Amino acid sequence: MSSSTVAEARPKTEETAYRRARFANLPGGAFIEGKWQSAELTLEVRDPEDGVLLGRVCTSTSQDVERAIAHIDRHLQADEWPLRARRQALETAVLLLGEQAERFANIIAAESSKTINEAEREVRRCIETLRLSAAASEELTGETLGFEDSMAGAGKIGWYSRKPVGIVAAITPFNDPLNLVAHKLGPAIIGGNGVVLKPSTRTPLTGLAFVQLLLEAGVPSGRIAAIVTGPGVSEALVTNERVDLISFTGGPATAERIAAAAGAKKILSELGGNNATVVCADADAEAAADAIVAGAFGVAGQNCLSVQRVYVHISLFDQVLERVTTGTKALKTGPKLDRGTDVGPLISEAEAKRVELWVEEAKAAGATVHAGGQRRNAYYEPTVLTDVPSECRVIREEVFGPVVSILPFIEVQDAVYAANNTEYGLQAGVFTQSIDLALAIAEKLHVGAVVINETSDVRIDSMPFGGFKKSGVGREGVRHAVREMTEPKNTIINLTGAGSRWQQLGGLPGRTTP
């Protein structure tokens, strides 16, 4: 990557929009007790591309967390917020986000790794997530209880409905700073919960602006809070006895610390992946190669569904490798607001250096670099590797960067074994023209989703999303998250005296009982 590519001047009109989005109409640095906080704005938020200061957010305290949770708890107990009003607020949020789509896309592109094209796609997905959240009100209806089919049910009728768990702690990452927030807040709100958002310290401005939008849409200020950072804040949030559920997206190590600290709480966690794609001997090699390039390098590879390992039948290996290498070299790495840019910077120079270290380790162990392999500041070129030993971190762990390894296989069962040989189990892709082979492989892959004739990089916001092993606990996906964030509550009526009362009334004329 040349220095001229990185330093390329932004078009003037987009530069103006970019600067305007950085500082205009952003809310305060935290939202506590129904008010935006403007004191202690000490955490700087900077553009990872050029280090420009975008804004400052609050450094909060554990006491602030307690105040925020207590405020929500009081409102949950005292104030009714009926389902129809919750649905209407989310429907209004859909309209507002549509109207403010450009503003949100520019905020996302400013503080994250996303190009403007990727940021605009995230806004469109968030609109869909909000729409699905409003429609998920149907999940709360429940059903009647089958007392007639039980000896213990004689003389009883009843039903169950779904009720909110209470207060949800929503902890979100930097790589999808809007839609992953919506995947937690939307289901929590339609389910009738209160929610405390803790967005990533690297991309907090998007989450805070989203909270502002929800308030404008009609979400009561007593139902929501947002706190970004501060000494003891995370521990205070996950250990608070009034927090009933923790929804976390991030890494396994952090999830383990949360679980250890939280104790007996319901925890939903999406913890990333080390995703494999298997290209069988009868696959369309060109389609597979193009999909691998598209699936490996989005958001500079900082995507839990990113393609990391590709197992290609030896008969197609050279063809797939050549096309993946050519397609990777054709990608443009550069300024996020340039519409021609395919790959922006990583979220920080430190992360780019980590990816660089892992690739250098692989090279020292015998790996061959076919494209990329170079870093400049926070940028790391999209990189294609072969001959990577299985013990290397780029194979064993989640890279979370723009690196893909292409590896040959002879027998399908060996490819499936290698794909499963990881602590993660989020998603996988399979390319084959045989439906029988596709289904046989899908049955053996130990992952949360198998995508046929596509890579792992596919998510529909309505599907149950999550994985096996260290890829998480529970499932997101709006309807499924609503079920996780609510509990069934039975109502039972004892009709034991109904028979004698019937006799007192003398029955009804007409039919007689034999």
pLDDT of residue 155: 87
Residue 278: pLDDT over 50: yes
Give φ, ψ of 60 to 5 degrees.
Answer: -95, 180
* Catalytic positions: 270, 304
Q: Which segment of 45-49, 91-95, 215-219 scores lowest on mean pLDDT?
A: 45-49
- pLDDT in the model for residue 221: 97
How confident is the model at residue 472, as a pLDDT?
A: 87
Is residue 452's pLDDT more than 60? Answer: yes
Count of alpha carbons within 13 angstroms of residue 493, beta-carbon side: 7
Q: Which of 276, 320, 277, 282 is nearest to 437 (CA)?
A: 282
Residue 201, helix vs strand vs coil:
coil
Contacts of 3 (CB under 8 A, 6+ apart): 376
pLDDT of residue 158: 92
> Tokens 């990577």 appear where?
388
Q: What is the mean pLDDT of residues 201-210?
A: 97
Averaged pLDDT of the chain: 91
Please state the separation of Cα 357 from the chain's center in Å. Answer: 27
∠ Cα 444 450 455 (to 5°): 125
pTM listed for this prediction:
0.90
Confidence grade of residue 8 (pLDDT, cut at 50, 70, 90): very low
Q: How far apart are CA 183 and CA 172, in angstroms?
A: 10
Average pLDDT over residues 439-456: 97
pLDDT at 505: 61
Tell me the percentage of the chain whose pLDDT exceeds 70: 91
Q: What is the pLDDT of residue 166?
A: 97
pLDDT tens figures, 495-506:
866 555 555 566
Which H, E and C letters describe 399-424, residue by residue? CCCCEEEEEEECCHHHHHHHHHCCCE
Instruction: Round to whole Å and give the CA distance between 251 and 290.
Output: 29
Spatial distance between the Cα atoms of 218 and 210, rounded to a whole number of angstroms: 13
User: Which segments of 238-292 are extended strands (E)?
Assistant: 245-249, 266-270, 275-279
Q: In this predicted structure, what is the pLDDT of residue 141?
A: 87
Task: Look up residue 420 and give its two tokens.
Answer: 């499963």
Residue 150: what are its φ and ψ, rounded to 5°? -135, 140
pLDDT-derived band of residue 492, with 50, 70 and 90 as boundaries? Answer: very high
At residue 473's C-alpha, the angle toward residues 469 and 476, to 5°, is 125
What percent of the chain stands above pLDDT 90? 82
pLDDT-derived band at 147, boundaries 50, 70, 90:
confident
Q: What is the mean pLDDT of residues 377-384?
A: 98
Cα 309 → chain centroid: 21
Which pLDDT band, with edges at 50, 70 and 90, does 109 fall under? very high
The three-class DSSP label of residue 199 is coil
pLDDT band at residue 150, thresholds of 50, 70 and 90? confident
CA separation for the pair 95, 130 (Å, rounded): 10
The whole-number pLDDT of residue 497 equals 60
Domain extent listing, the chain? 17-271+474-489, 275-468
Q: Which CATH superfamily is domain 17-271+474-489 in?
A: Aldehyde Dehydrogenase; Chain A, domain 1 (3.40.605.10)
Closest CA to 192 of 93, 89, 264, 94: 89
Residue 47 has pLDDT above 70, yes or no: yes
Confidence of residue 1 (pLDDT cuts 50, 70, 90): very low
Of the pLDDT bands very low, low, confident and very high (cuts 50, 70, 90), residue 9 is: very low
414-438 pLDDT, tens digit each: 999 999 999 999 999 999 999 999 9
Give the pLDDT score at 2. Answer: 34
pLDDT(3) > 50: no
pLDDT of residue 186: 98
Asked if pLDDT for residue 20 goes beyond 80, the answer is no
pLDDT at 177: 97
Helix (H) / strand (E) element for 86: namely helix 83-99
In this predicted structure, the answer to whether residue 245 has a pLDDT above a threshold of 70 is yes
Strand 403-409 with 245-249, pairing: unpaired
Residue 449 has pLDDT above 70, yes or no: yes
Query: How far is CA 434 from each of CA 311, 409, 441, rounded to the nearest angstrom?
Result: 17, 18, 11
Contacts of 378 (CB under 8 A, 6+ apart): 48, 49, 345, 346, 347, 348, 349, 351, 352
Average pLDDT over every residue of 220-236? 96
Structure tokens given for 509: 């004329």
- Which numeric CATH code is attached to 275-468? 3.40.309.10
Pairing of strands 486-494, 156-164: antiparallel
Does 10 score more than 50 pLDDT?
Answer: no
Note the pLDDT of residue 371.
98
CA distances from 223 to 75, 206, 229, 255 (A): 7, 19, 20, 25
